[in-house]
Chains A and B, each alone.
Chain A
Amino acid sequence: MAPLMEISEVKAELEKHHSSGFGWALSCCGRDPSEAEEVLQLVYLKILDGRARYGGESSFKTWLFAVIRKTAASERRKNFLRKLILNAGAERVPRASRTEDPALALERSETHARFRHALAQLPARQQQTLHLVFYEDLSLQETADTIGISVGAVRKHYGRAKASLRDLLLESEGNYGIEWRRQKNPSVVL
């Protein structure tokens, strides 16, 4: 087992991977920036008080991403229970999707908004697999180590995720075409 790193070394490594860690936290938190930031703070706190220690079994990035994933999962569980207790009996208002927000939709390009929407519709494991492979450029082995599943399972998720994403994008593009034509000519029946 490799000797434990000094806190200054750990800090330097964390700084190096901070933005990618934030992106991964976003992926684990359903693209919610405030929740992702909170998760990242908790991860740093865990590292500071020794609850999470890098032992050198894998690369620092893989280890950091695994800690982020576990922390995000526990936070989501806690938030879910908190909401369940607080909103017991109260009428639940469905949370508006970020892609449905018109202000945000204006900021982004239509293609990008559709991509976000399609990505949000995928199961969490498939989202994470695509994120690690395409966003972080990790190999399937590294992805498996980060998520904590076998390479075979990662390969399966990867294939299914790509197929689902393609179908969803094609569907949304079709809908977008219909919407666009309706805006141009409201009398058209489609």
Chain B
Amino acid sequence: MGLNGEDKRIRALFCELKREEEHASPLFAKTWNIAEAEFHRSNFGRPRLQLSSNLLRFATAILLVSFVSLVLAATVLLPRYLRPNRQPKHDYAKQGVAAGPLAASEEPLRSGKVPANRESGKPTDRLVAILRAVRVKKSQVAVAKRARPVNQIKQSGLSEWQSPTAKLLRSAGDELLRFVPQMNESAEEMKKFLTNDLN
């Protein structure tokens, strides 16, 4: 009930507001005529508007074309221009292996030039050469490691094989245990010593 009473009160207030605003509302004919006049005026002015819209389209098309050409130039032509003497990729590997990573890396530093592709975020030619040389070296070492035990076994044979833990069994007194002691050996040594001393 309270809510209904509240609704009624709000409705009454809105009714009063409506009554007041209806008095203040402009005449339909006046508003319509103004809108119609504006419509006719804009219709007469339409050719000029169309001309300006055509001009706008033309300008937009030109801007678009220039933007596309700029993008093309930046992505395709500019890198080519900045790197005219770039060598093929297989040459870097050969250079890197032949001259070594150090020699390959020294050349651009001495010349003082900044490689063109450094700015574009790509690895430099020198770096590529070093990486390739390192890769080749690594593969060679790996191949050598794999091949070594087989060759050694073939060359030396089983007779020379030593246990990997043999070193652990060695001690300082090993020499005394390798031969049998002779009878009166120490007495003979003593005689030698004494005769030398007496002379």
Binding site for B on A (CB under 8 A): 11, 14-15, 18-19, 22-23, 26, 33, 37, 40-42, 44-45, 48-49, 108, 111-112, 115-116, 130-131, 134-135, 162, 165-166
Task: Report the nearest A residue to B3, measured CB to CB.
Answer: A162
Q: Which of B32-40, B117-125, B127-135, B161-169 interfaces with chain A? A: B32-40
Size category of the B interface is 20 to 34
Contacts A49-B39, A130-B10, A134-B10 given; indicate if A19 touches B31 (C-beta within 8 A): no
Q: How far is the CA of A166 from the CA of B24 in the complex (A)?
A: 27
Contacts of B25 in A (CB 8 A): 18-19, 22-23
Task: Say whether A41 contacts B34, CB under 8 Å.
Answer: yes
Judging by beta carbons under 8 Å apart, are A135 and B17 in contact? yes
Find out whether the CB atom of B14 lies under 8 angstroms from the CB atom of A44. no
Complex Cα distance, B31 from A14, in Å, reads: 11
Find the A residue at minimum CB distance from B39. Answer: A48
Chain A residues lying within 8 Å of B20, measured Cβ to Cβ, are 108, 112
Determine the chain B residues whose CB is within 8 A of the CB of A22 once the complex forms.
Answer: 21, 25-26
Chain A contact residues: over half helix, strand or loop, or mixed?
A: helix
Residues on A with C-beta less than 8 A from B13 are 111-112, 115
Q: Which residues of A contact B39 (CB under 8 A)?
A: 45, 48-49
A-facing residues in B2-38 (Cβ within 8 Å): 6-7, 10-11, 13-14, 16-18, 20-22, 24-26, 28, 31-32, 34-36, 38
Within 8 Å by CB of B35, from A15, A41, A115, A135, lies A41
The verdict on B54 contacting chain A, using a C-beta distance below 8 Å, is no
Contacts of A108 in B (CB 8 A): 20
A188 to B36, CA, bound (A): 61
A37 touches B18 (CB 8 A): no
Alpha-carbon distance between A37 and B42 when the two chains are bound, in angstroms: 20
Cβ contact of A44, chosen from B18, B21, B32, cutoff 8 A: B32
Which residues of A sit under 8 angstroms from B16, Cβ to Cβ? 112, 115
Residues of A contacting B26 with CB < 8 Å? 22, 37, 40
CB distance from A129 to the nearest CB of B (A): 12
Determine the residue in chain A with the shortest Cβ distance to B36.
A48
CB-CB under 8 A for A44 and B35, given A23-B22, A33-B24, A134-B11: yes
Residues of B near A33 (CB, < 8 A) are: 24
Instruction: Let me know if B14 and A131 touch, CB within 8 A.
Output: yes
| A165 and B32 contact, CB distance less than 8 A | no
How far apart are the CA atoms of A79 and B74 in the complex, in Å?
43
Q: Determine the distance from Cα of A94 to Cα of B91 in the docked complex, in whole angstroms.
A: 77
Query: Could you say which residues of chain A place their CB within 8 Å of the CB of B43?
Result: 49
Is B14 a contact of A14 with CB atoms below 8 Å? no
What are the nearest 8 A-B pairs in CB distance? A44-B35, A134-B14, A22-B25, A18-B28, A48-B39, A45-B35, A115-B13, A135-B14
